[in-house]
């Protein structure tokens, strides 16, 4: 049987966090009553003229520079003509053959282009399905019409749904850190279409692609792509050809349905927008955009791995959420221990939630650094350290004082710990026998007994050593 390789390219629409729309002064809408954020320009009334939003261009330049794109010295807007009620003008102002940004790369995926365009209005289909098929009526809200979007088009460098999800996560955190968008998929400020094809593994030629439209969550995105990859492979294995078309993935049923045959660019009769002058970024505009970039998540991940010796997963976890990254750096610097700091920052994150800002928690970076140092010096066991952290999360405080007040300091390997270990072995004879017989993993219940008795104050390594010693075994 032929093995197939999926080939995926993404088209991502990012709603820019400007105050006003792309070509007029209407403020962006966030749940206002329908058709209250409109004007003659975004409704396309005769005699009106669009003007490009300077902030949207600034954000577009920031994205282009951050993603290593080539910025066009002169780009132009085009009219993309189509007849549908979501565009009062019957055309969308977009960019076509000369986009604002070309090329570029994020992680292991090359970018084809980034261009500016306006969003369409929102159609609401009245009926049980919420879709146009079977709807009793459709109503239109032009508040969204004209909202500034950047469309990011990747090269077909993605080869699995999982890779697509991971890459989109990196893009999302990068754009969020740039501050150009809310990048909220559920609210529609980040929308993703996927061009999916499959080809025999090792082949150079691309297969016929289909387009999966408007997947509004990372989970649906992955499920939708996997469903389409499976479908295309089944079609090809059945001796048939994949048809180029646009598909909708229904996450509730897991089914794909055809929306329409795919248009070609010439169907849209693109022509240059005569009401707008070419977009010519000045040196000052580029410098301002460059100055606004800051350190991006991929760079920060690499720096954490390099400077603090963090594993990639731990580095990514902190770098992708800059509020956690900033906090981690303070803890690591104060503790002079990157890995220890990362471990305890992750524990704090698990307690207060990833979306919470640790800078406003009860746990100051300096206090957490002190806890890192206490555990590192074995003055507090890891288990007791977790109890200390619980107290700090609840009410702040100095970890050394909490340890002192609550008697959470480490037990040394003296007589008291030795007696508790002996009791633990006596209470877990079966487990002790297995450990004697060479099953090291069976030691768990004995260690657990000791930890319960000592309320986590005993050092795990020392407990293991004592158990083996009392069982007459050598070091593990």
Partner 1 sequence: MGRMARLIRMDRTGHTTVAEWAAGDAAATDAAAAAFREQLDLGYYAIVSTGEGHAEQVRELPLDADVVILRLPIAGG
Which chain residues interact with partner 1 by CB under 8 A? 18-20, 24-25, 49, 51-55, 57, 277, 279-280
Shortest Å, Cβ 144 to partner 1: 18
Which of residues 4 and 77 has its CB atom nearest to partner 1 in the complex? 77
Which of residues 118 and 462 has its CB atom nearest to partner 1 in the complex? 118
Shortest Å, Cβ 182 to partner 1: 16
Which of residues 58 and 209 has its CB atom nearest to partner 1 in the complex? 58
Within 10 A of 147 (CB to CB), how many other CB atoms are there? Answer: 26
Shortest Å, Cβ 189 to partner 1: 17
Would you state the torsion angle of the CA atoms of residues 30, 31, 33, 37, taken in this order, to the nearest 10 degrees? 20
Q: Answer yes or no: are the C-beta atoms of 389 and 348 closer than 8 Å.
A: yes
Q: Environment class of residue 388 by beta-carbon count within 10 Å: exposed (0-12), middle (13-18) or buried (19+)? A: buried
Rounded Cα–Cα distance for residues 179 and 249 (Å): 30
> On the CB side of 110, how many CA atoms lie within 13 Å of its CA?
7
Tokens of 143: 């508040």
Which of residues 280 and 476 has its CB atom nearest to partner 1 in the complex? 280
Rounded Cα–Cα distance for residues 96 and 172 (Å): 24
Rounded Cα–Cα distance for residues 183 and 16 (Å): 9
Shortest Å, Cβ 74 to partner 1: 12
Shortest Å, Cβ 61 to partner 1: 12
Which of residues 51 and 203 has its CB atom nearest to partner 1 in the complex? 51
Shortest Å, Cβ 56 to partner 1: 8
Which of residues 168 and 279 has its CB atom nearest to partner 1 in the complex? 279
Shortest Å, Cβ 21 to partner 1: 9
C-alpha closest to that of 14 among 160, 138, 154: 154
Shortest Å, Cβ 274 to partner 1: 9
Collapsing DSSP to helix, strand or coil, 145 comes out as coil
Q: What are phi and psi of 338, to 5 degrees?
A: -65, -50
Rounded Cα–Cα distance for residues 384 and 457 (Å): 5
C-alpha closest to that of 144 among 189, 211, 112, 207: 189
Shortest Å, Cβ 51 to partner 1: 5
Which of residues 19 and 306 has its CB atom nearest to partner 1 in the complex? 19
Which of residues 49 and 302 has its CB atom nearest to partner 1 in the complex? 49
Shortest Å, Cβ 179 to partner 1: 13
Which of residues 265 and 280 has its CB atom nearest to partner 1 in the complex? 280
Which of residues 20 and 174 has its CB atom nearest to partner 1 in the complex? 20
Which of residues 55 and 356 has its CB atom nearest to partner 1 in the complex? 55
Q: Residue 314: in which H helix or E strand, if any?
A: helix 312-319
Which of residues 118 and 329 has its CB atom nearest to partner 1 in the complex? 118
Q: Which positions ≥6 away from 258 have C-beta within 8 Å?
A: 245, 246, 247, 248
Shortest Å, Cβ 14 to partner 1: 17
Q: Answer yes or no: are the C-beta atoms of 126 and 139 closer than 8 Å.
A: yes
Shortest Å, Cβ 226 to partner 1: 41
Beta strands in 245-376 (DSSP E): 245-250, 255-261, 271-272
Q: Measure CA of the first residue to CA of the last residue in the chain; give whole Å.
A: 48
From residue 299, give the alpha-carbon distance in Å to each of 175, 201, 304, 389: 14, 33, 9, 30
Rounded Cα–Cα distance for residues 122 and 142 (Å): 6
Tokens of 405: 């007040």
What interhelical angle do 338-352 and 312-319 show, nearest 10?
Answer: 50
From residue 180, give the alpha-carbon distance in Å to each of 15, 55, 81, 193, 437: 8, 10, 28, 20, 62
């Amino acid at each position: 049987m032929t093995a197939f390789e999926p080939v995926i390219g993404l088209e991502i629409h990012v709603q820019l966090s400007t105050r006003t729309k792309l070509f007029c002064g209407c403020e962006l809408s966030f749940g206002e009553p329908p058709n209250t954020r409109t004007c003659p320009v975004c409704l396309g009334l005769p005699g009106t003229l669009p003007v490009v939003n300077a902030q949207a261009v600034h954000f577009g330049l920031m994205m282009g520079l951050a993603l290593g794109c080539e910025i066009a010295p002169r780009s132009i807007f085009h009219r993309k003509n189509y007849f549908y009620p979501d565009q009062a003008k019957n055309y969308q102002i977009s960019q076509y053959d000369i986009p604002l940004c070309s090329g570029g790369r994020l992680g292991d995926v090359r970018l084809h282009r980034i261009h500016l365009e306006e969003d369409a209005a929102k159609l609401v289909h009245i009926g049980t399905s919420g879709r146009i098929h079977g709807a009793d009526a459709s109503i239109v809200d032009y508040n969204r019409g004209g909202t500034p979007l950047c469309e990011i088009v990747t090269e077909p460098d993605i080869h699995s749904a999982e890779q697509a999800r991971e890459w989109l996560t990196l893009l999302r955190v990068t754009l969020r850190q740039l501050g150009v968008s809310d990048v909220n998929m559920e609210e529609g400020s980040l929308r993703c279409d996927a061009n999916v094809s499959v080809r025999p593994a090792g082949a150079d030629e691309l297969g016929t692609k289909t387009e999966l439209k408007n997947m509004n969550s990372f989970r649906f995105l992955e499920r939708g792509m996997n469903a389409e990859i499976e479908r295309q492979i089944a079609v090809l294995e059945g001796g048939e050809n994949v048809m180029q078309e646009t598909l909708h993935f229904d996450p509730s049923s897991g089914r794909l349905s055809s929306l329409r045959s795919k248009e070609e660019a010439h169907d849209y009769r693109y022509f240059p927008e005569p009401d707008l002058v070419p977009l010519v970024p000045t040196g000052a505009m580029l410098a301002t955009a460059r100055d606004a970039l800051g350190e991006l998540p991929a760079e920060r991940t690499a720096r954490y791995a390099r400077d603090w010796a963090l594993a990639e997963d731990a580095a990514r976890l902190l770098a992708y959420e800059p509020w956690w990254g900033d906090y981690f750096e303070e803890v690591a610097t104060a503790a002079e221990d990157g890995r220890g700091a990362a471990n305890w920052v992750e524990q704090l994150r698990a307690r207060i939630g990833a979306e919470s800002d640790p800078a406003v928690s009860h746990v100051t970076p300096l206090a957490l650094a002190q806890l890192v140092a206490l555990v590192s010096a074995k003055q507090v066991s890891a288990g007791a350290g977790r109890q200390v952290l619980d107290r700090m999360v609840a009410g702040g405080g100095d970890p050394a004082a909490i340890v002192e007040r609550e008697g959470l300091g480490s037990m040394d390997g003296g007589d008291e710990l030795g007696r508790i270990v002996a009791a633990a072995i006596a209470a877990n004879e079966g487990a002790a026998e297995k450990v004697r017989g060479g099953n090291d993993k069976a030691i768990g219940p004995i260690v657990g007994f000791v930890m319960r008795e000592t309320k986590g104050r005993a050092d795990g390594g020392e407990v293991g050593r004592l158990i083996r010693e009392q069982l007459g075994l050598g070091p593990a």
